[in-house]
C-alpha cells in the first residue's frame, strides 16, 4: 500500500511538472519565429556576400530588422533555463510570485557556485546570463525550480524571533533558497561533468551518427505512450533543448537542442519532423475512420466531434482531442498509433528529411518554417500514404474487433440539459465542480493546453459519465489525480471553475449521482448535529490562533463542515494553535483565504466567532 501511495504522490508531482513546462513552451512559437526568420535573412546576406547565393527568399526583410529579430529570439532561448526554473517553481506553489523570485535568486547563485568550483577544478565554463559557469542547460533550471518550490512550501509561513521578524514568512524563502542553491551547486559541480559528457556523447551520436533513425523512432513511440499520463513534456526536454550542438554562424555562440539548432541554421537539426505526417494527416484520417465506423443513427453527432478534433490536429498539431476519444475504449488502437508515430519519425529521417517546429507539428508551423527545412516536400508527397495507413488500419481494427469507439456504444443519447449548460460559462463551471465531487472534494485546480487536471480527496466521487456528457473526450484517473480532456478550452474552464468557487454557496457540494456506479449511490441516514457546549471557548481560541480579531476580515460557514476565513496577514496565523482549538484540517485557497475543517458544528462556531468580532468593533 505504501508503494502505491508513493507512486500516486510521485505521479501527481510529475503531472504538475508537465503542466508547468507548458508555460515556457508557450513562449517558443514567438522565439522560434523571431530567431528563424532573423537567422534565415542574415545567413542569406552572408551567403550573398560570399557569392554562394544569388536568389534570396527573404529579400523583403531589412537587415536591421532581421538582426533585431534574431537577437530577440536568441535572448529567449538563452534564458530558457531560468524561464524553466521560474515556471516549475510557480507551478508547484499555486502561482505565487515569491517562489518565482526565489527561483531566480537560487538559479543565479547556483550558476555562480558551479562556475567558481569549475574554475578551481580547471573545467571548461560557459557564460550563462553573464555568469561563467558549467552549462547544465534546462536541467539545471528544472532542479532549481523544484528546490525553490520545496523551500517555499516548507518555509513561507515560518516564524522567527522578534528581532529577526522582518525576515519571517515569505521573505525567508529567497534567503534559504540561496543557501540551498550553494549546496546544490557544490554537489552538481562534482556529478555534472561526467553526466554532461555522457549526455553530449549520446546527443552527438543521435544528432550526427548512423543511429539517428533508431533514436527518433524510439522517441516517437515512447512520446505517444506517455501522452495518457501527461508525462510527455518531461520526456521531450532533452530532445527539444539538449540534444546536439551547433555553432551559430552569425554570433559564434554554441546552441543546443533540436529546436534552437534548427532555427540557428544547423542542417542536421529538425530530426523530429516526421510528426507532421501523423499529426496533420494520420490522426485526422483516423478521426474520419471513427466517424465512418459509428452507427448510422450516431454519425451526425460523432461527425461533428471528430471533424473539429481533426481540424485542431491538422492546423495546430494538438492531437489529444482525437487520441483521448479512443484511448480508453480501444487501447489497442492507441498502441497501433504509437507504433505508426515512431515509424513516421524513422521514415522522415531515413529519407533525408529535416523540418523543425515551435509549438507543434501543424499546418501553421509548416507554412511558417518549411523554407528552413530540408526535403520538406516529403511531407505533402507522402501524406496520402499516412492518410491511407491510419484510415484503413483504424477502420479494419474497429470493425474486426468490434471496438467501442465513439458512436458504436449500445446507447448514445444527447442530454438536452447538458447542451444548454455548455453554452453558459457559470453553469458549466458549476456542473464541472459537481462532476468532480463538489467543492469539498477538490484539493487543487489546474489545466494544461488540452486537459483539466484536478486533485481530489475521493476519486470515487468523480462522476466520469457526467464529465463526458459535459464534453470531455476522455477522463484519466490515477491515484488522487483526475484529468478530463476538454481540448484547448481546458484552461478557460479551469479559470471559470476557480471564479465560481470564489463565490459559490452550499450548492457547490450538492453532488449529482450518475446512472452508473462511479459514485456511491446509497443514501446515508440523516446525520443529527448536536450542540457543542464548548463552542464559545473554541471560538476564542480560534480567533487568537488566527492572529486576533483585528486580523480577521470575514468568517462564514461553508460546505456544512468548514469555516471560510479571510485574514489580513497570513503570517500571523498559528496552525498549531488552530489544531489545539479543535480545527481538524486547514486548506489555503489563496494567501489570505483559508478553509478550516471543524466538523458538523461549523455553523455554530461561525456564529460564535462573528459575535465576538462584532463586539470588538
User: What residues act catalytically?
Assistant: 448
Using alpha carbons only, what angle is made at residue 84 by residues 450 and 272, rounded to the nearest 5 degrees? 60
Q: If DSSP codes are grouped into helix, strand and coil, which group holds residue 476?
A: strand
Name the H helices within 470-601.
Answer: 490-503, 535-545, 575-580
Grid coordinates representing 290? 471513427
Distances (CA, A) of 405 to 304, 401, 469, 511: 15, 11, 15, 29
In degrees and rounded to multiples of 5, residue 534 shows phi and psi of: -100, 15
Long-range contacts of 512-516 (CB under 8 A, 24+ apart): 512/434, 512/435, 512/463, 512/466, 513/463, 514/463, 514/464, 514/465, 514/466, 515/465, 516/465
Cα Rg of the chain, angstroms: 28
Q: If DSSP codes are grouped into helix, strand and coil, which group holds residue 358?
A: coil
Grid coordinates representing 402? 468490434
The single-letter DSSP state of residue 442 is E
454 contact partners, CB below 8 Å, separation of at least 6: 436, 442, 444, 445, 446, 462, 481, 482, 483, 484
Distances (CA, A) of 345 to 225, 282, 352, 358: 15, 13, 11, 17
Can you tell me the distance from the alpha carbon of 274 to that of 347, in angstroms, rounded to the nearest whole number?
Answer: 7
- What is the bridge-based pairing of β-strands 481-485 and 475-478? antiparallel
Task: Encode 391-414 in three state secondary structure.
Answer: HHHHHHHHHHCCCCCCCCCCCCCC
* Residue with grid cell 521560474, as numbered in its chain: 86
Torsion on CA atoms 100, 496, 10, 242, rounded to nearest 10: -50
166 CB neighbour count, 10 Å cutoff: 10
The answer to whether the beta carbons of residues 105 and 173 sit under 8 Å apart is no
Nearest of 294, 275, 425 to residue 360 by alpha carbon:
275
Distances (CA, A) of 561 to 242, 499, 610: 50, 22, 17
Distances (CA, A) of 391 to 184, 220, 221, 235, 555: 51, 20, 19, 28, 59
The single-letter DSSP state of residue 600 is T
Amino acid at each position: 500500500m505504501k508503494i502505491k501511495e508513493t507512486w500516486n504522490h510521485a505521479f501527481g508531482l510529475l503531472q504538475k511538472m508537465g503542466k508547468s513546462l507548458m508555460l515556457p513552451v508557450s513562449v517558443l512559437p514567438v522565439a522560434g519565429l523571431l530567431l528563424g526568420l532573423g537567422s534565415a535573412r542574415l545567413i542569406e546576406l552572408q551567403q550573398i556576400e560570399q557569392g554562394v547565393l544569388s536568389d534570396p527568399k527573404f529579400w523583403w526583410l531589412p537587415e536591421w530588422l532581421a538582426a533585431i529579430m534574431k537577437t530577440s529570439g536568441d535572448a529567449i532561448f538563452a534564458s530558457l533555463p531560468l524561464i524553466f526554473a521560474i515556471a516549475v517553481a510557480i507551478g508547484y506553489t499555486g502561482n505565487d510570485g515569491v517562489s518565482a523570485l526565489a527561483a531566480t535568486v537560487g538559479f543565479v547563485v547556483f550558476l555562480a557556485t558551479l562556475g567558481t568550483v569549475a574554475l578551481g577544478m580547471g573545467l571548461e565554463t560557459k557564460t550563462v546570463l553573464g555568469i561563467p559557469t558549467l552549462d547544465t542547460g534546462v536541467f539545471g533550471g528544472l532542479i532549481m525550480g523544484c528546490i525553490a518550490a520545496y523551500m517555499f512550501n516548507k518555509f513561507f509561513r515560518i516564524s522567527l524571533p522578534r528581532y529577526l521578524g522582518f525576515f519571517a514568512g515569505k521573505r525567508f524563502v529567497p534567503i534559504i533558497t540561496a543557501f540551498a542553491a550553494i549546496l546544490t551547486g557544490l554537489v552538481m559541480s562534482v556529478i555534472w561533468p561526467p553526466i554532461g559528457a555522457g549526455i553530449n556523447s549520446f546527443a552527438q551520436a543521435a544528432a550526427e551518427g548512423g543511429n539517428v533513425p533508431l533514436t527518433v523512432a524510439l522517441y516517437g513511440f515512447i512520446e505517444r505512450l506517455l501522452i495518457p499520463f501527461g508525462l510527455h513534456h518531461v520526456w521531450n526536454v532533452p530532445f527539444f533543448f539538449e540534444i546536439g550542438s551547433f555553432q551559430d554562424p552569425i554570433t559564434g555562440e554554441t546552441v543546443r537542442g533540436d529546436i534552437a539548432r534548427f532555427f540557428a541554421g544547423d542542417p542536421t537539426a529538425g530530426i523530429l519532423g516526421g510528426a507532421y505526417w501523423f499529426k496533420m494527416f494520420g490522426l485526422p484520417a483516423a478521426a474520419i475512420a471513427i466517424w465512418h465506423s459509428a452507427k448510422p443513427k450516431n454519425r451526425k453527432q460523432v461527425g461533428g466531434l471528430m471533424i473539429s478534433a481533426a481540424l485542431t490536429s491538422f492546423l495546430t498539431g494538438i492531437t489529444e482531442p482525437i487520441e483521448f476519444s479512443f484511448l480508453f475504449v480501444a487501447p489497442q488502437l492507441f498502441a497501433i498509433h504509437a507504433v505508426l508515430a515512431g515509424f513516421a519519425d524513422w521514415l522522415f529521417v531515413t529519407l533525408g528529411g529535416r523540418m523543425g517546429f515551435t509549438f507543434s507539428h501543424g499546418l501553421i508551423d509548416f507554412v511558417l518554417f518549411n523554407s528552413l527545412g530540408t526535403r520538406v516536400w516529403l511531407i505533402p508527397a507522402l501524406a496520402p500514404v499516412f492518410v491511407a495507413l491510419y484510415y484503413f488500419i483504424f477502420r479494419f481494427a474497429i470493425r474486426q474487433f468490434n471496438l467501442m469507439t465513439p458512436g458504436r456504444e449500445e446507447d448514445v443519447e444527447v442530454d438536452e440539459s447538458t447542451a444548454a449548460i455548455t453554452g453558459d460559462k457559470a453553469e458549466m463551471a458549476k456542473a464541472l465542480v459537481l462532476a468532480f465531487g463538489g467543492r469539498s472534494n477538490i484539493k487543487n485546480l489546474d489545466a494544461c493546453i488540452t486537459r483539466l487536471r484536478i486533485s481530489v480527496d475521493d476519486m470515487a466521487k468523480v462522476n466520469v459519465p457526467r464529465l463526458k456528457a459535459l464534453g470531455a473526450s476522455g477522463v484519466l484517473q490515477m491515484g488522487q489525480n483526475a484529468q478530463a480532456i476538454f481540448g484547448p478550452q481546458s484552461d478557460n474552464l479551469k479559470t471559470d471553475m476557480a471564479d465560481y468557487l470564489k463565490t459559490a454557496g452550499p450548492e457547490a457540494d450538492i453532488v449529482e449521482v450518475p446512472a452508473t456506479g462511479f459514485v456511491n449511490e446509497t443514501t446515508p441516514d440523516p446525520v443529527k448535529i448536536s450542540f457543542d457546549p464548548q463552542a464559545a471557548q473554541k471560538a476564542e481560541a480560534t480567533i487568537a490562533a488566527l492572529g486576533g480579531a483585528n486580523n480577521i476580515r470575514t468568517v462564514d460557514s461553508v460546505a456544512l463542515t468548514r469555516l471560510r476565513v479571510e485574514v489580513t496577514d497570513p503570517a500571523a496565523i498559528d496552525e498549531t494553535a488552530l489544531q489545539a482549538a479543535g480545527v481538524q484540517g486547514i486548506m489555503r485557497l489563496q494567501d489570505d483565504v483559508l478553509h478550516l475543517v471543524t466538523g458538523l458544528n461549523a455553523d455554530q462556531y461561525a456564529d460564535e466567532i462573528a459575535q465576538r468580532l462584532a463586539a470588538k468593533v
